[in-house]
């Protein structure tokens, strides 16, 4: 079990498949060829947990974490293959499966499906800090001073200043994340080039 008091850096975190689309559903393979198939021996190198909806595997290969899900208990002497349903998360799962296939075959995994840009990370951090300030009962002006520095906040014309509007938007973003919007960070779709 996961220790809620422990650091997430020190223990495996298991996500539900409906929340994290990079979890790869796997099934026993019906293929006669055993090449390019995943075996229980490889899965045993990771951590396996049973849940009410099946078995979750956190597999660490070449310094990367790969997350798998099985409906049935893992069986010895069986080979496994990815099962990718044609749903809204197909592209994300297919990318995750391809990365796993590449590392199992001694190749570099390639880039992750999505990564937050430094600007997006900074904005989300500011939004959470702004939310904390608002929950503690601070005014937008006090929050803005904490986020951007008191020197940048004008004595007059605060009601029409850009930093006031930006602070309000950051607080709104923080509330949206708190109310479940953080899940969208797990489902980001790559922008078309």
Q: Encode 122-157: b = buried (16+ Cβ within 10 Å), e = exposed.
A: ebbebbbbbbebbeeebebbbbbbebeeeeebeeee
CA distance 143 to 132: 9
CA distance 87 to 93: 10
Tens-of-pLDDT digits for all 193 residues of the chain? 456 666 655 666 677 767 788 889 988 887 765 555 566 666 655 688 888 888 888 888 777 888 889 998 887 777 788 899 898 889 889 999 999 888 888 888 887 777 677 888 899 999 999 999 999 999 999 999 999 998 998 888 888 889 999 999 999 999 999 998 877 776 655 444 4
Per-residue confidence (pLDDT) for residue 124, from 0 to 100? 93
Per-residue confidence (pLDDT) for residue 57, from 0 to 100? 84
Per-residue confidence (pLDDT) for residue 164, from 0 to 100? 92
Per-residue confidence (pLDDT) for residue 98, from 0 to 100? 92
Per-residue confidence (pLDDT) for residue 193, from 0 to 100? 44
Residue 15's nearest CA partner among 75, 66, 62 is 66
Q: What is the dihedral of CA 151, 157, 163, 169, to 10 degrees?
A: 150
Per-residue confidence (pLDDT) for residue 73, from 0 to 100? 85
Per-residue confidence (pLDDT) for residue 4, from 0 to 100? 65
CA distance 79 to 56: 16
Helix (H) or strand (E) holding 48: strand 47-51
Structure pTM?
0.56
* Rg of the Cα atoms in the chain: 22
């Amino acid at each position: 079990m996961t220790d809620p008091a422990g650091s997430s850096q020190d223990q495996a975190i298991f996500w539900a498949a409906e929340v994290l689309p990079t979890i790869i559903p796997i099934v026993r393979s019906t293929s006669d060829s055993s090449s390019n198939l995943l075996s229980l021996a490889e899965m045993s190198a990771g951590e396996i947990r049973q849940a009410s909806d099946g078995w979750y595997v956190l597999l660490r290969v070449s310094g990367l974490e790969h997350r798998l899900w099985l409906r049935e208990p893992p069986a010895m002497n069986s080979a496994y293959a990815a099962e990718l349903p044609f749903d809204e998360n197909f592209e994300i799962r297919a990318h995750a499966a391809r990365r796993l296939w590449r590392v199992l075959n001694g190749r570099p995994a390639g880039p992750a499906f999505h990564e937050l840009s430094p600007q997006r990370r900074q904005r989300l951090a500011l939004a959470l800090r702004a939310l904390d300030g608002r929950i503690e009962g601070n005014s937008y002006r006090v929050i803005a001073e904490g986020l951007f520095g008191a020197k940048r906040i004008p004595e007059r014309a605060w009601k029409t200043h850009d930093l006031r509007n930006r602070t309000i938007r950051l607080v709104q973003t923080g509330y949206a994340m708190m109310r479940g919007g953080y899940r969208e960070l797990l489902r980001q779709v790559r922008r078309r080039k």
